[in-house]
Structure 1
């Protein structure tokens, strides 16, 4: 039994990563045999991983098949409300509890990520790393767990708000301001800056969706 656990974790993480990077998009059907062949493992860990993803509402039933779940407008709005509050809390706690080394890492991330502006896919991956670093810097394991679930659910959005024209550079400036507040140990300012950052990202996504609906008419 002990030998199976690492494989189960690997199956879960690989499927989740495939959803996250867009190999499998909302509505795509996931088939055990195909996944087992893709990831080079037996169907048992694949089946267990799919069950776990279904429990987390990242997959849903379509008849007898499992498909990648999708978020409607209301679900997306609900997700952003929760994300805004939890991310803001994490930033405020990071301002209080982050070590000097963690703050330097955040600052270095912003500098490195500035080079990715213009590449939305790469910047989106870097954006997740940056936010995860803030979560860890909060030094609150229960908050980190909840934010991990929120960010996994974000993978169900087919596009990134960073793909909007000019959003990458603006987002990087916002990241710099968040780090400034954390470095100043100003919990209130850090929380406010991150909440505003999430609000702007949500508005950007709403505009993207409105444009998509207009093009599809």
Structure 2
């Protein structure tokens, strides 16, 4: 009996140790993708304006291919790096515009607010939700709808329409954060993929919060 109890204890200790290592790798990949993004942002200041639209279209095509093609998902390592670099290149102009419209103080306050929201929803997903696996299919459908709405939005210059897209996008990536933290708790993840997912979640939350702040500032 004592031997069985010791074996169970050893098994649990090993499991907890392996889980801690996996979590550590997740955050290393999370930081890694932010570094790549930062490098892309730095070089984004040298990106000619004429390149921005083609790059944006190429990024949209990449997202669509990834969403609808299983083979593309299997090339996640390559695609995640391409995506991060291109997003970084394009983000320089976007964040510069937000900074100019909001002012430095309001800009950074909203970034801190976005990070705080990311942490809160992550903690809710990890500690308060038992099993959020059923959310996945609904989040994916909403993501596809958001991408389609974004494409339609290129041809519709209606402030209300774009505000709705911004609010839905913000809620979507907050819920994706909850969902991904819940997956971490249940051990249903690979460190690289999860690190990339959390990077994407936080990046989009920051962008949508800033976008919403700019729209409210214009009123």
TM-score, normalization: structure 1? 0.35
The structure where strand makes up a greater share of residues is: 1
The structure where helix makes up a greater share of residues is: 2
- Tell me which of the two structures has the higher relative contact order, counting C-alpha pairs closer than 8 angstroms and 6 or more residues apart: 2
TM-score, normalization: structure 2? 0.34
**CA radius of gyration, larger in:** 2
